[in-house]
Amino acid sequence: MSYQHVLLVTDLLSDADKVALKAKRILAGSPEAKLTVLHIVEDDMVRFGFELVPASSLSGDVDGEHWQEARANLAQFLERNELSAVDAEVTAAISNSKGIVNYCQEKAVDLLIIGRHERRGIAAWLVGATADNILPNVPCDSLVVKLDQPVTQ
């Protein structure tokens, strides 16, 4: 199958390069595919009645130090892995899972590539892995790259 729009989701942790390598292999087999890279910053939410609004959109903090650092880290990630992305985006979402699923639906992604850290302890019980949460809801093919080190927070 030839993919047209590949989305690489990264958490920018130290092992994200392993996921980038898989994306490069897929893209080598689909030279006409465009690559989008997405990093989601989980945003604090403010409740207005029944509606939740990202705090950064109210405060205009999308140019704050935290956001600038995330953008710089994403640019370094792309350069280090020699990835040429049509779009590289840092965005906020209520949760990583919702943000990824919504992005795939809105941008007509036909392949999602994401890493999966094993979670242990209370983190596994409370939130589980993002990849596990999105797979039932994402509207496209998915490549989940198993990463070695568990997340223990």
- This prediction's pTM: 0.77
Establish if 43 belongs to a structural domain.
Answer: yes
CATH for 45 = 3.40.50.620
Is residue 88 a part of any domain in this protein?
Answer: yes
Element (H, E) at 83: none
Cα–Cα dist 135/91, whole Å: 20
| Residue 114: inside a domain | yes
Tell me the mean pLDDT per 10 residues along the chain, length 153.
Answer: 89 90 92 91 58 51 75 94 90 75 92 80 53 80 82 43
Locate tokens 């280090």: which residue?
A: 80
Q: Is residue 72 part of a domain?
A: yes
Q: Residue 84 class from Cβ within 10 Å (0-12 exposed, 13-18 middle, 19+ buried)?
A: exposed
- The answer to whether residue 15 is domain-embedded is yes
Query: What per-residue confidence (pLDDT) applies to 37?
Result: 94
Domain holding 91, by residue range, is 5-144
Q: What is the pLDDT of residue 1?
A: 64
Instruction: Give the integer Cα–Cα distance in Å for 105 and 138.
Output: 8
Whether 68 maps to a domain, the answer reads yes
Q: Count of alpha carbons within 13 Å of 70, Cβ hemisphere only? A: 20
